[in-house]
Chain A
Amino acid sequence: MTTQSESLNSQPSTLNFPLSEFLQQLLNGLSLGAIYALIALGYTMVYGVLRFINFAHSDVFMVGSFIGYYAGKHVPERTYWGGLLVLVVAMLGCALLGMLIERLCYRRLRGSATLNVLITAIGVSLLLEYSGQVFFGATPRTFPDIFPSTNFAFGSLVISSNQILVIVVATLLMVALQLIVYRTKIGTAMRAVSLNPKAAQLVGVNNDIVISFTFGLGSALAAAGGILYAINYPSIDPLMGVMPGLKAFVAAVLGGIGNIPGAALGGLLLGTVETFVNGSQWSTYKDAIAFAILIGILLFRPAGLLGKFTVEKV
């Protein structure tokens, strides 16, 4: 790592960076990855119960940022309670939005061909994006500083409080999600519906409620992702969800679609790899590399990193 070996290369290789830079990139990567993970969880949970990719999910993420933008104007800037309040408002707002989307658009298509539902999801996605342009305008806005922010320097390593905030909030939310899914009745019902919706009905589960709850939960996490994203990349616009949404979808597939820990792992991995590539001489290709990884992993592990390959039985 420390020898300058690339004599043929005219540029100095940026992969030979010192430890502090490695840690810096790792931290940047983990905080970006935590946001991808939050979004990816929504994709994977909805896939788990309904077996389709909710393409509108990335736009729920965007709406989360915009709710935060407007709510942020009503609380004092740079306070923890104000920031948390904005976070909670955005999560609740998006939970409602997600449940509404499911109720109005997807529920009546339950039981019809997956392709029909997928096309509907793309339609809902476009509807949200372009309604966003009508209501919020197409010009990017600057997200308010809702949380206090400082930088801590350790030698050449700089940690911003926002990065810590992202990692802490995302970790807490993922732990909470894990507790909901594995320790509560509705969580067990979610897993039961995902494994066998008919059998779940036969023990008395109202699948509509469970599916609605799943959309609410996933959308709330996407909203949290939207706020955390906007804190670190404070320029928001109605199409901001497209790229992070796509990456989060890649992360969900990478971890094994339908697998909750897999989505978290996939998000962290993708964010970290992307950040490292971004800091290297190949930064132009960061998105290409992210998707190349997806293709590579799916070639060798079609079910994703933590997914189990199962033949779907009818």
Chain B
Amino acid sequence: MLSVTDLEVCYGSISALRGVSFTIPQGSIVTLIGGNGAGKTTTLRTISGLLRAKSGTVNFLGEDITSLPAHKIVARGLSHVPEGRMVFSNLTVGENLSMGAYLLSDKAVIAKNRDYVFSIFPRMKERLKQTAGTLSGGEQQMLAIGRALMGNPKFLMLDEPSLGIAPRLISTIFEKIVEINRTHGITILLVEQNANLALEVSQHAYVLETGAIVMSGESKKLRADPQLKATYLGG
């Protein structure tokens, strides 16, 4: 569904990605794990068009999307839930969800998507009239995911959904991520620092270190890998 080939990205003279390649098959949950500054967020931002690649290609559903602007990439069904959630803080929950369906014009489809979001995150229905900035971190994460779902994505990229969220809510959100993948068949690329959790819900994993993929394989196998255990899984 998505394949990234030899992606190189620079911030000025600093190289952030040094030839990253990976593929994500349709219907799967794939995770990209790695420490701070490994280039995980840079990878997602380049795929979604917020950053420009120096070289390399991003191929989505058989088409080269490397040089498309971000809004055209979303239109193709690739949705990015950014790090730090980036909800529209002064807009209400309802307006945030409507913005998620910005590219859709069919009211029936929008209503259906809204019901779907409410079925996954019932709390969003309770908070509909509240401004997004007043939500808790976990609720904002739900809203950010819900907003992405409003646009009918085929492929969802989640950047650190566990960051800054009460531990009790983390497991809920991860259950929902799996549910979205299973019931709706949405392919997911999950970026996480919490490697344990990410390997638990995903089928395949890539390990990113200082801008390059250093290890990859089935998530189950990687969980048992002694080297990975020592570095990312806390022994």
Contact of A202 with B74 in the complex, beta carbons under 8 Å: yes
Q: State in angstroms the CA–CA spacing of A189 and B96 once bound together.
A: 10
Which residues of chain A come closer than 8 Å to B79, judged between CB atoms?
202
Contact of A201 with B102 in the complex, beta carbons under 8 Å: no
- Across the interface, B50 reaches (CB within 8 A) one of A192, A201, A204, namely A201
Which of A188, A198, A204: most chain B Cβ within 10 A?
Answer: A204
B-contacting residues, A176-201, CB 8 Å: 185, 188-189, 191-192, 195-196, 198-201
Q: State in angstroms the CA–CA spacing of A126 and B95 once bound together.
A: 40
What number of residue pairs across chains A and B have CB atoms under 8 A from each other?
A: 66
Chain A, residues 14-37, CB within 8 Å of chain B (1/0): the string is 000000000000000000000000
Chain B, residues 149-171, CB within 8 Å of chain A (1/0): the string is 00100000000000000000000
Answer yes or no: A205 CB below 8 A from chain B CBs: yes
Give the nearest-CB partner of B78 in chain A. A202
Contact of B88 with A192 in the complex, beta carbons under 8 Å: yes
Contact of A198 with B50 in the complex, beta carbons under 8 Å: yes
A-contacting residues, B69-108, CB 8 Å: 69-71, 74-75, 79-80, 82, 86-91, 95, 98-100, 102-103
Which residues of chain B come closer than 8 Å to A185, judged between CB atoms?
98, 102
Q: Contacts A201-B71, A202-B70, A204-B74: A196 and B86 contacting too (C-beta < 8 A)?
A: yes
Contact of A201 with B49 in the complex, beta carbons under 8 Å: yes
* Least CB distance, A175 to chain B, in whole angstroms: 20
Residues of B within 8 A of A (CB): 48-50, 69-71, 74-75, 79-80, 82, 86-91, 95, 98-100, 102-103, 147-148, 151
- Across the interface, A195 reaches (CB within 8 A) one of B80, B91, B100, B151, namely B91
Contact of A192 with B91 in the complex, beta carbons under 8 Å: yes
* Least CB distance, B93 to chain A, in whole angstroms: 13
- Across the interface, B151 reaches (CB within 8 A) one of A199, A201, A204, namely A204
* Least CB distance, B132 to chain A, in whole angstroms: 9
* Least CB distance, A204 to chain B, in whole angstroms: 4
* Least CB distance, B52 to chain A, in whole angstroms: 11
Contact of B151 with A191 in the complex, beta carbons under 8 Å: no
Q: Contacts A201-B49, A203-B99, A203-B151: A195 and B71 contacting too (C-beta < 8 A)?
A: no
- Across the interface, B99 reaches (CB within 8 A) one of A198, A200, A206, A207, namely A200
